[in-house]
Amino acid sequence: MLEKLLKQYLKNLTNTFQRGDAREESYYTNLDELVKKTADILKVKNIDITILPKKTEAGNPDFRIWDGKNHITGYIEAKDPSISNLDYIEGTEQLKRYSSTFPNAILTHFYKFRLYRDGQRIAQVMIGRPIIARRLHTPPPVENSGQFKDLFESFFSFSLPKVRSARSLAVELAKRTRFLRDEVIAVEMEEEGTKGQKQIIGFYETFKKYLIRTLTEKQFADLYAQTITYGLFAARTRANGEFNRRLAFDYIPILSVFCVMSSALSLWKIRPSPCKLSWKILSNYYT
């Protein structure tokens, strides 16, 4: 059954390529279908896939695999099939940040898959030769279906280890703070500056006007990231079981330094479709 699925997947990739106008995003539906059907074959239940918008080169892995409610299995970062050298991609700062921040991640160019656990590559498999599709305009034969099965069994079986010491907790929170600062807030501030928007820049200007006149954008991004990270951590400790935007809003300590978080979350609570910050901020606090 898996061999048949992979054969159809490689055929779909080739058909997408032969349209002549395919870009990376054109192959997303093929991969989405592959992951869902692989989960079915492996009898993995409650798998939902969110294809994440990618406005910049930073901040967003392309796919989030989760149960649609709380538990996140992992992330997949996809590159165009024409990018054959995954070794180069693996060495980029972007991929290093992804693999160190997200403990269960896959890098793929749709034909080869690499699985990373806590920043280390633990498995890889090539299921077909993209050069055959490009040069011969025909689907390549399926290869290594057993290894593909093993890789995705490892990916689906992942669960976050429990934090059992203050030191390990501090390390995990620091990783989330750095990623949020560098890959989300700083990028959003830069984009808002070019578009004339004021969502985060407005917070920065208010802080600078009324609290710290010498505050730089870089310092504010760090301050804001810490506020969000530790504010959400404080809220998470108050919630039992499910954790989402509404519960985060309800459990933020209003009378503490985290009041800025309540202001930010109140905006998201009012708007059904929050800005793209929301998934990045909340996703790492689900259990």
Confidence (pLDDT) at 272? 38
Query: For the chain, which domains are there?
Result: 2-156 (3.90.1570), 166-283 (no CATH)
What digits encode the pLDDT tens for the residues 55-82?
444 456 889 898 766 677 889 999 998 8
Q: Band the pLDDT of 260: cuts 50, 70, 90.
A: low
Asked if the model's pLDDT at residue 152 lies above 80, the reply is yes
Indicate the SS3 state at residue 64.
strand
Can you tell me the distance from the alpha carbon of 229 to that of 233, in angstroms, rounded to the nearest whole number?
Answer: 6
Asked if the model's pLDDT at residue 250 lies above 90, the reply is no
Average pLDDT score over the chain? 79
Average pLDDT over residues 266-286: 44
pLDDT higher at 258 or 122: 122
Q: Are 65 and 35 in contact (CB under 8 A)?
A: yes
Asked if the model's pLDDT at residue 271 lies above 50, the reply is no
Can you tell me the distance from the alpha carbon of 127 to that of 143, in angstroms, rounded to the nearest whole number?
Answer: 5
pLDDT higher at 160 or 108: 108
Average pLDDT over residues 89-113: 88
Which token pair is 46? 């409650």
Confidence (pLDDT) at 53? 56
What digits encode the pLDDT tens for the residues 16-66?
988 878 888 889 999 999 999 999 999 988 888 988 755 444 456 889 898
What digits encode the pLDDT tens for the residues 161-218?
666 788 878 877 887 787 778 767 777 777 766 666 667 788 788 888 888 888 888 8
Locate tokens 């011969």: which residue? 136
Of 69-73, 100-104, 147-151, 265-269, the range with the lowest mean pLDDT is: 265-269
Confidence (pLDDT) at 34? 96
Confidence (pLDDT) at 273? 36
Dihedral angle over CA of 140, 146, 151, 153, nearest 10: 130
Confidence (pLDDT) at 138? 92
Q: Are 89 and 101 in contact (CB under 8 A)?
A: no
Confidence (pLDDT) at 186? 77
Give the E-state strand segments of 36-171 in sequence order: 48-51, 63-66, 72-78, 104-108, 112-117, 120-126
Confidence (pLDDT) at 275? 42
Average pLDDT over residues 252-279: 47
Contacts by 259-268, CB closer than 8 A, 24 or more apart: 260/203, 260/224, 260/227, 260/231, 261/227, 261/228, 261/231, 261/232, 264/203, 264/228, 267/199
Indicate the SS3 state at residue 240.
coil
Of 5-9, 11-15, 198-202, the range with the lowest mean pLDDT is: 198-202
Which token pair is 263? 């202001």
Q: Are 140 and 129 in contact (CB under 8 A)?
A: yes
Q: Band the pLDDT of 160: cuts 50, 70, 90.
A: low
Can you tell me the distance from the alpha carbon of 21 to that of 32, in angstroms, rounded to the nearest whole number?
Answer: 20
CA quadruple 15, 18, 20, 23: dihedral positive or negative? positive
Q: C-alpha angle 97/47/184, rounded to 5°?
A: 30
Confidence (pLDDT) at 15? 92
**Strands of the 48-51 sheet, one edge to the other:** 48-51, 63-66, 72-78, 104-108, 112-117, 120-126
Confidence (pLDDT) at 31? 95
Length of the chain: 287
For the entire predicted model, the pTM comes to: 0.68
With a pLDDT cut of 90, the percent of the chain lying above it is: 29
